[in-house]
Amino acid sequence: MDFSQKVKEFTEMIDAELEFFFEEKRKEYSESEIEMLQIIKDFVLRGGKRIRPICMLIGYCLEGNKLHRDIIRASLSTELLHNYFLIHDDIMDEASLRRGKITVHKFFENYYENTKDDKRKFQYGNSMAILAGDILCVYAYDCIAKCDFEDNKKMDALKIINETIIKTIHGQNIDVISGELNKDISQEDYMKMINNKTAEYTFTAPLKIGMTLAGVDSKIQKAITQYARFMGRAFQLQDDLMDIYSEKEFGKKKCGDISEGKRTLFVNHVLENGTDEDVIFIRSVLGKKNLSEQEIEKIRDVFNRTGAGEKVVSVIDESIDEAKKIINSTVIDKGAKIFLIELAEYIRNRKV
């Protein structure tokens, strides 16, 4: 079975469990609360790669454990946590689209589409979306707390979720400061932000939770955690690459990171290596909400000329190579090993 077929089977299994989970929750809600639940459900089930719950399931299987209903239900915690972060992130970024559809705060803003009071619409949309995200955060805990694992393992898994939320918030803090306050950050700080945000909750935490619930050997856990960090770095940089060079909008605006004023590795490279003219231009478009096609083309030209694109690709390749090296030297279940190596290549080559 090839990698894409394996992912398809995992995704179908996870989506089926998500459907069942939300149906269970529906029984707990009164009629007046159903609408919020439906909006949350629609957002979670509108797509996504399900990388996080898949990683958690693989983490559980590293020493040959077989999948069962409780670990599948527990794996939903990482997907629900991801969507909690997405909803709040979209508010902070003032994003209109997520996965090609309207963001949650914009959806709620439309409740006030017949009023001219834009401030009231904005406030209502943000307030309701914050609550929706908070509900998903609680659901993430719920999926682990109510599963049939030993209490000490569940407690350790919940601690990982706590640590992940704190680290992600610290990473987001750097992101917000650099964008909103127009503050430059070093390449080192950008990489630290990636480790705290993308690597932590996309790869490190899901794999660690799966390994924790399975009771995987500590040496294996240490090696897999290193693998996860390299994978998270590559994943985020590939996202940055697609944001700049994609010819179609993958659920958000082209060059959206530039519009949000983010000091990505691309931007840092130009600020450190570009001509005065290049630096002045990049600074002039950072944080500009509505970039023209001409500006987008010039941004790409500057990144190409200064070698920023090559720099990002080289860091992605180095990270993937290091991740694969770790897996190849770690004694784990053969099927899990093959999957983690194939996942690394998927991240290297993924496109919109």
Measured distance CA(27)–CA(25) in Å, rounded: 5
Tokens 């990489």, located at residue: 191
Q: Residue 352 pLDDT > 90, yes or no?
A: no
Q: What's the mean pLDDT when you consider all of the chain?
A: 93
350 pLDDT tier (thresholds 50, 70, 90): confident
* pLDDT per position as a tens digit, 264-275: 999 999 999 999
Length of the chain: 352
Measured distance CA(314)–CA(116) in Å, rounded: 50
Tell me which of 21 and 171 has the higher pLDDT.
Answer: 21
- Written as one letter, the residue type at 56 is M
* pLDDT per position as a tens digit, 128-140: 999 999 999 999 9
H or E element that contains 148:
none
In this prediction, residues 169-182 reach a mean pLDDT of: 83
Phi then psi for residue 102, to 5 deg, are -65, 140
- Residue 205 pLDDT: 97
Residue 332's alpha-carbon distances to 100, 156, 223, 224, 322, in angstroms, are 38, 22, 11, 10, 17
Q: Residue 251 pLDDT > 60, yes or no?
A: no
* pLDDT per position as a tens digit, 55-111: 999 999 999 999 999 999 999 999 999 999 999 999 998 888 898 899 999 999 987
248 pLDDT tier (thresholds 50, 70, 90): low
Tokens 């149906």, located at residue: 23
Please provide the DSSP assignment of 193-226 as one string.
HHIIIIIIIIIIHHHHHHHHHHT--HHHHHHHHH
| Contact call for residues 201 and 171 (beta carbons, < 8 A) | no
- DSSP character for 186? -
Q: Residue 250 pLDDT > 90, yes or no?
A: no
- Residue 326 pLDDT: 98
For the chain, the structural domain boundaries read 3-349
- What CATH topology corresponds to 3-349? Farnesyl Diphosphate Synthase (1.10.600)
Q: Can you point out the beta strands (E) in 256-337?
A: none
Measured distance CA(218)–CA(220) in Å, rounded: 5
Q: Does the pTM of the predicted model rise above 0.85? A: yes
Measured distance CA(170)–CA(148) in Å, rounded: 32
Provide the β-strand partners of residue 98. 101
Percent pLDDT > 70 in the chain is 96
